[in-house]
Amino acid sequence: MHPHSIKNINFNGRKVLLRVDFNVPVDEQHHITDDTRMREAMPTINKLMSDGAAVILMSHFGRPKNGFDPKFSLQMVVSHLEELVGRPVKFTQELLGPTVSKMAAELRPGEILLLENTRFYAGETKGDPQLAEEFAKLGDCFVNDAFGAAHREHASNAVIARFFPNDKYFGFLMEHEVSNLKRLMEQPQRPFTAIIGGSKVSSKIDILQNLVDKVDNMIIIGGMRYTFTKALGGKIGNSIHEDDKMEIALELMREMERRGVKYYLPTDSVIADAFSNDANTRIVPSNDVPDGWESMDCGPESCKAIKEIVLASKTILWNGPAGVFELPTFAKGTREIANYVAEACRNGAFAAVGGGDSVAAVDQMGIADQLSYVSTGGGAMLEYLEGRELPGIKAVED
């Protein structure tokens, strides 16, 4: 249990400022299309409610530009939140001022108050201490359960913690994320295998460099592998790659060799003559893609090799798809890897999955609950894997 966990704290009679992530996707009619982030906050909210706390919820939503904008109002989540918590939710379209102060002061144990979108104040994204102090005056302790915003030093999720030096905690979601990331990066059982994919080396350089001295095996998949393949002299046809990152790719491979890290680049590929689900396809060696064709997925031999590495591992990190996952014809490699990682977990391995397409794959296949840890925070997890300090975590742990 994390030392800042709420698990053994009784919040009876207290006014808890709870930072959540209700930045949920909505359609054009402002109907919520995926309430995952709201449901993930429920264990913490229910714990506080059962303790007899009065809960004041803070969240951002979208990226409003100039103050209040009805398109970004959290009013749209109130009715669904009431369904989830099974009780009325008070709401204010103000964030600060006498009305909000009065509502917070009069909030009784077991009641919930949802504040308006924190990003309607410019000081939120600037990490304004004065704004954070105004937020802090509404409650008598602070709980951060918004891992998806942990990499932002904003007023409501990081700076506010300064005003609660002895009363700041992680909600259950944050605790789960922090504990699992630390287990992954600081105490991995070996062999430790990282599977890193995606379309561009440039978006994953910092992760690759930070993992070089931590892993035993590095599997490089997705479009980014073709920068490596071309750097090694392979013929890659029209496959996505970055010429200006080839020297970095070579240096990464040299560094892995120096450190004894075994790295694997898929040896065969499913290629297509057009970026289309209905394109003509072939399976060829990854270093011999004909002109006019491009790689779209890992081939069967590559999948077999990846399976062997994954099932021999005790710790696995998977971030990024094997191919053009959004086109069903080219989703097989990503699905296969998801199955291998799930099988490794069943055999006792610890596996962490993060990144939009990787998470989408395990969700789509219905195997998320078979994995040790599926991260909810895309950007936050990536920055943690890059070795960066996350302000939302540091603020509570300091």
User: Could you report how far apart the first and last alpha carbons of the chain are, in Å?
Assistant: 17
Q: For residue 162, how far is the Cα from the chain centroid?
A: 25
| DSSP, res 248 | H
Cα distance between residue 69 and residue 31, in whole Å = 17
- pLDDT reported for residue 360: 81
| DSSP, res 119 | G
Cα distance between residue 91 and residue 80, in whole Å = 13
Only one residue has tokens 């540091």, namely 394
DSSP states of 360-397? HHHHHTT-GGGSSEE-S-HHHHHHHHTTPPPHHHHHHH
CATH 3.40.50.1260 applies to domain 15-171: yes
* 379 a catalytic residue: yes
Cα distance between residue 192 and residue 30, in whole Å = 43
- pLDDT reported for residue 128: 95
Cα distance between residue 55 and residue 139, in whole Å = 9
Cα distance between residue 93 and residue 116, in whole Å = 5
* Beta-sheet strand order (sheet of 112-115): 90-92, 112-115, 54-58, 15-19, 141-144, 168-170
Question: For residue 309, how many other CB atoms are within 10 A of its CB?
Answer: 20
Question: For residue 20, how many other CB atoms are within 10 A of its CB?
Answer: 28
* 37 a catalytic residue: yes
- pLDDT reported for residue 153: 94
- 368 Rama sector, left if φ>0, alpha if ψ -120 to 50, beta otherwise: alpha
Q: Tell me the two tokens of residue 179.
A: 């504990």
- Find the DSSP H helices in the chain: 36-51, 78-85, 98-106, 122-126, 129-136, 172-186, 205-211, 225-231, 246-259, 300-311, 332-346, 356-364, 378-385, 391-397
Residues 239, 223 contacting (CB under 8 angstroms): yes
Nearest to 136 by CA among 106, 101, 175: 101
The three-class DSSP label of residue 250 is: helix
Set 200, 235, 307, 314: catalytic member = 200
- Could you tell me the CATH superfamily of domain 188-385? Phosphoglycerate kinase, N-terminal domain (3.40.50.1260)
- pLDDT reported for residue 242: 94
CATH 3.40.50.1260-classified regions of the chain: 15-171, 188-385
Phi, psi of 55 (to 5 degrees): -115, 125
Q: What is the mean pLDDT of each run of 10 residues along the chain (398 residues)?
A: 89 97 88 89 96 96 88 94 96 87 95 96 94 95 94 95 95 93 92 92 89 95 94 95 94 96 96 96 97 96 97 95 92 93 96 83 85 84 89 92
Residues 294, 272 contacting (CB under 8 angstroms): yes
- pLDDT reported for residue 358: 82
Q: Tell me the two tokens of residue 67.
A: 């103050």
Set 14, 15, 19, 37: catalytic member = 37
Residues 57, 15 contacting (CB under 8 angstroms): no
- pLDDT reported for residue 309: 98
The residues facing 263 across adjacent strands are: 218
Element containing residue 55 per DSSP (H, E): strand 54-58
Residues 340, 315 contacting (CB under 8 angstroms): no
